[in-house]
Structure 1
Amino acid sequence: SDFFRIPERQIPSPPPTAAPLSTPLLPTAVLRADPSRSPEPPRQARREVAAMDEEYDVIVLGTGLKECILSGLLSVDGLKVLHMDRNDYYGGDSTSLNLNQLWKKFRGEDKPPAHLGSSKDYNVDMVPKFMMANGTLVRTLIHTNVTKYLSFKAVDGSFVFSKGKIHKVPATDMEALKSPLMGLFEKRRARNFFIYVQNYDEADPKTHQGLDLTTLTTKELIAKYGLVDDTVDFIGHALALHRDDRHLNEPALDTVKRMKLYSESLARFQGGSPYIYPLYGLGELPQTGFCTSKCCLWWHLHVK
């Protein structure tokens, strides 16, 4: 899939290399450059470092995603923020490490083998996960206007393992017709259920068809459409993304909302799946999206 920025598509720039956290806060152009070639910090930044012993309104410890969002919002609100991290990288527990950092974290002083190539070619997520293209996190990124600093890639496909084989989760009407995951008559019944979910609006009783999804369980709702167990599993785990089967005995509203999110995310960038992924790893969210952009714009002091 093409690389893009949210909300508009754009060819990505080379991967940014953030300055060490002990480096004074610099303008965006310097933070995104190789620290070994960074020019001398501007006078304003040097004054910030000299003022380390003054008072701050807020001190934030750690550069995980939550901490970076918090410090960015506080600084935008006019508070003086000191943001500190004991590590020499951004992201906390959800960081993305290059090869040297990965080896140091798990193998001490051992060096990675030369045949693995350049350390900078790697961005290994400590907490690997995808983002829903229309999910809460993406909407937060857009709302805070940090998406201009981030490049994303649409994930090409979503797959399930069924009856000893791997199958692609259909992303288009044509793929749904050809998919072996359901028989012809089962597809017709499933289609009726999907139409109900797509049209459902919690605020509009006319779309409820007389069903109260706050009391009706998921199992009871699906039973009204006569779907077989394999389809029930597909809906619950491949579309609603439940981790277990407890949802079957819980109110159906949550499952319907999850399915609608899947559908909306799938349609947002018209890719092969509802998922997107930061081009240089999830560590880019706190590093480039919040620490770099917000610190540069609002000059709250960010140190190791």
Structure 2
Amino acid sequence: MGRLHKYKPPEAGTSGRYARPVNFAQLLFPDFSLILCGYLVCRFTALNRTVWEPLESLVYFFLFPVLLFHSIVKSPLDIGAASSLMAAGLALGICGIALSYSLPHWPWLGRRLDPRLHAASAQVGFRFNSFIALALADKIAGPQGLLMIAVLIGVCVPLFNVGAVWPMARRANKGFARELVRNPLIIATASGLVANLLGFTVPSWLEPTVNRIGQASLALGLMAAGAGMRLGSLTKAKQLGAMVLCVKHLGMPLLAFGLAMAFRLDTAQTTILLMFSAVPTASSCYVLAARMGYDGPYVAGLVTLSTLLGMASLPFALGILA
């Protein structure tokens, strides 16, 4: 189980995870129900944004990094077996970034786009919600899926952060190197890969604590994604929003499907790459846009719509393309 090896889904009628492809919607329901719970609790109880904002920081800066680090170090990593998945993930990221930033150059449509709004919202087209990705990877392919999604996060998060920050920094005359070196997911993934290659393992007496931290991070991360949903400010730039979301929820899964074929990924790797391409965009898109001086509420609306559209794009990627 430790290595990224050939994975064959069980035949129909067995008790395995892939026994019935039509059950992907049912498989995704528990995670999206947690997102809905987070939204309802935040909007209709005293546990409002003042509660959820510190919780998001706890998940992002501590719980998720622990989960990522442990997912990587607990199983020996076969770089040779993972190289095709890593290359496919990088190619997917580059294609997604290029497609998102090509929108102003599309005939007829591109000239109508607001340059500043496009610079802030283009990141929605290629970034991913790591809360949802980690939860689904564990549910779809177990520990092997967590290892594979950790590898994808390790190679794609730096690329996606550069793609997201650089255009806004260029327009706002700000640097982005500090944003990259301080990213907790990059730090956790890089340190996990180094520790794995050096043969480090988490002591057995610490395993139960680390496992519980990982379990808590998945549930709290999904609820935090729901608590952060907003629909304000979407009345403007509807065309730009539709184009960016089309790139994210249609273009990216189709690109992932083609790249999986081109890189000859096995069944498990293909499924994880398709899932990775179809998950909703990162909730931190709003934070980044606002911090860089752009229209944060507009980006927050796109993040919310992307979360809702994920309920269609994930079954499309996992049930139809897979």
More strand by share: 1
TM-score by shorter chain over 0.5: no
More helix by share: 2
- The structure having more radius of gyration, on CA atoms, is 1
When the two structures are superposed, what TM-score results if normalisation uses the length of structure 2?
0.23
